[in-house]
Amino acid sequence: MALYFKKELEDTRTTIAVWQITETEEELKELSSIPSDEMEEISFIKSESLRKQRLAVRALLDTLFDEKVYLSHHDNGKPYIENSVTNISITHTPKYVAVILDDNEDVGIDMESLDRDFSAVEKKALSEEELEDLDEDRKNEQLAIYWCTKEAVFKRVSSYKVDFAEQIEVERFRVKEEGELEATFIHKDGYEEEFELQYMTFDRHVLVWLVG
């Protein structure tokens, strides 16, 4: 499929790009310029779907960068590009992979399929106030947006052992095709960081991102 869509955010140096995974594993390898050590790491992944997701991320990066990029991860799992100052966040599902890039600001992104059951999110990730805001008619979609929002904040903040229910608060929102979200991250010392996020839905998927 190659690039599914690419979005340049207004008044920023931020790029969001999504790749739809329709290729075979071998086709993705041919499309990707992967350093040998990373290719060896991917080869040890037992799940074919996860291998394809990793390869699709690589194919997407090759589309976005003029030069070969060397992708690595900090100890907390946050990805970074060794040979570029560009900040990056990555997310993937069995059908799509997405990245957000910004040369100046920290970023976070998350994506989920709306066909997934998000009932477990109620118990482990939502506060009592957030639970009270759930709409039974669109509950699963709302839970998906809550989860992606908290994941995007978590990726941006890069803290260890975060309690999603207690430390990430999402302001009440109405489910739409696309919209804005507000969230607060409460550090363990009590310091609060406020974030503005955006989201969109496409092909039974929800994508949430933040910059700054």
pLDDT in tens, 30-53: 988 888 888 898 989 999 999 999
Looking at the whole model, is its pTM more than 0.85? Answer: yes
pLDDT, tens only, 93-109: 999 999 999 999 999 99
Distances (CA, A) of 210 to 19, 30, 174, 179: 19, 32, 18, 12
Check pLDDT > 90 for residue 14: yes
pLDDT, tens only, 161-182: 899 999 999 999 999 999 999 9
Token pair for residue 195? 């974030």
pLDDT, tens only, 49-75: 999 999 999 999 999 998 888 888 888
Full set of structural domains in the chain with CATH: 3-103 (3.90.470.20), 111-211 (3.90.470)
Query: Are the CB atoms for 194 and 171 separated by under 8 Å?
Result: no
Question: What's the pLDDT band for 1 if we cut at 50, 70, 90?
Answer: low
**Could you give the CA distance from residue 71 to residue 79 in angstroms, rounded to a whole number?**
7
